[in-house]
A and B are shown apart, each in its own frame.
Chain A
């Protein structure tokens, strides 16, 4: 299994595959992850153009210091195979799959990616997967989805389609997605992958965004998807770790290093065993601190 490098996922900003100027500008904001979109923001008649534009922009003009994601079209759409051909060859950090509902869908996409990696001479397994959970079936099967492939590093909740699947009303308070948020989070924690919260859609309501992100952070999410640059700094500010969290992360990593030095198979801290997800979370905590300007 491929060793995964920890990376910040506080904010992931969607950038439409139709617009070169938006792609160029997005590289200058403070989002951790850029999501080049082939799906909802691209009209049907422009899917071919978006594929080529995203491919060349990432290959030739990749923004430095960003985790690069490509969101492809739906698993059962007529576009998925060609989207994957372009997306894999662009060599992003991850591919984001919309509306995943079953583990076997992840396996199917994983196999297709592997075949393209082989053909294109790209290291097998190097491209990670984010699975969008956007329906009640996705929520019910979240753990199986999160653990369906070693490529899966994150689940991202999509609230608009989820509420539609529930026949619920989408509200700013978000009571209708409270269970889904928790269910997806628990699945992520059990599978050892990161949990990314849903978009707050009203880009003009920054107070509403703060209230929503307070809940995002308090529930335990690792980050949030954003749809407008003005949301980025607000969301990032919620993911600045406390002094206590930083200290604990440092102790975890010190214990891991000590374990390596002594050639120990299992490492413990305060009587509990340190597993790989704990180690990755400790790296992330310190990366969040550094991104917020804290000297660690």
Chain B
């Protein structure tokens, strides 16, 4: 699925992450990470972003993370919120067990 709109979620406060999910003029998921710990946790952050994009069936997007030391569960929550906002849909709770 290609995006038509941009979705933003999160803040620049400590322990949070601001996630921007926007249309990608090229193809694929382009992940851009700005984080003090990207050397240590960049791969995990990318995995989380990819998992959320798969969850939403988004195939082409630019995903920017401005990370302030967020836990993985916060990154996931912010990515899901940004994805919902970009797609203009509510979260599918029925899929959560």
Contacts of B74 in A (CB 8 A): 20, 53, 56-57
Pairwise interchain contact B73-A49, C-beta atoms closer than 8 A: no
Of A18, A21, A61, A120, the residue contacting B96 (CB under 8 A) is: A120
Interface size band for B? 20 to 34
Of A18, A51, A57, A119, the residue contacting B73 (CB under 8 A) is: A57
Contacts of B11 in A (CB 8 A): 18
Interface size band for A? 20 to 34
B4 at the binding interface (Cβ < 8 Å): no
Pairwise interchain contact A89-B96, C-beta atoms closer than 8 A: yes
Residue of B14, B74, B81 contacting most chain A CB atoms (<10 Å):
B74
A108 at the binding interface (Cβ < 8 Å): no
Pairwise interchain contact B90-A82, C-beta atoms closer than 8 A: yes
Pairwise interchain contact A21-B13, C-beta atoms closer than 8 A: yes
A52 at the binding interface (Cβ < 8 Å): yes
Cα–Cα, bound, A113→B71 (Å): 29
A93 at the binding interface (Cβ < 8 Å): no
Cα–Cα, bound, A107→B11 (Å): 38
Cα–Cα, bound, A85→B74 (Å): 19
Q: Which chain B residue has the least Cβ–Cβ distance from A48?
A: B81
Of B9, B71, B78, the residue contacting A61 (CB under 8 A) is: B71
Contact of A120 with B70 at beta-carbon distance under 8 Å, contacts A49-B9, A52-B80, A52-B91 already known: no
Contact of A55 with B15 at beta-carbon distance under 8 Å, contacts A20-B70, A48-B90, A119-B94 already known: no
Cα–Cα, bound, A57→B76 (Å): 10
Q: Which chain B residue has the least Cβ–Cβ distance from A57?
A: B73
Pairwise interchain contact A49-B10, C-beta atoms closer than 8 A: yes
Of A21, A48, A56, A60, the residue contacting B85 (CB under 8 A) is: A48
Cα–Cα, bound, A190→B93 (Å): 38
How does the 8 Å CB contact mask read for B63-78 relative to A, with 1 for contact and 0 for none?
Answer: 0000000111110111
Contact of A52 with B77 at beta-carbon distance under 8 Å, contacts A20-B70, A20-B71, A60-B72 already known: yes
A65 at the binding interface (Cβ < 8 Å): no
Pairwise interchain contact A19-B93, C-beta atoms closer than 8 A: no
Contacts of B13 in A (CB 8 A): 19-21
Contacts of A21 in B (CB 8 A): 13-16
Cα–Cα, bound, A48→B90 (Å): 8
Contacts of B70 in A (CB 8 A): 20
Contacts of B81 in A (CB 8 A): 48-49, 52-53
Contacts of A48 in B (CB 8 A): 81, 84-85, 90-91
Contacts of B71 in A (CB 8 A): 20, 24, 60-61
Pairwise interchain contact B85-A121, C-beta atoms closer than 8 A: no
Interface residue ranges, A against B (CB under 8 Å): 18-21, 24, 48-49, 51-53, 55-57, 59-61, 82, 85-86, 89, 119-121
User: Please, could you name 23 A-B residue pairs with CB atoms under 8 Å apart, sorted by A?
Assistant: A19-B16, A20-B15, A21-B16, A24-B71, A48-B84, A48-B85, A48-B90, A49-B78, A52-B77, A52-B81, A52-B91, A55-B96, A56-B73, A56-B74, A57-B74, A61-B73, A82-B93, A85-B93, A86-B91, A86-B93, A89-B93, A89-B97, A121-B97
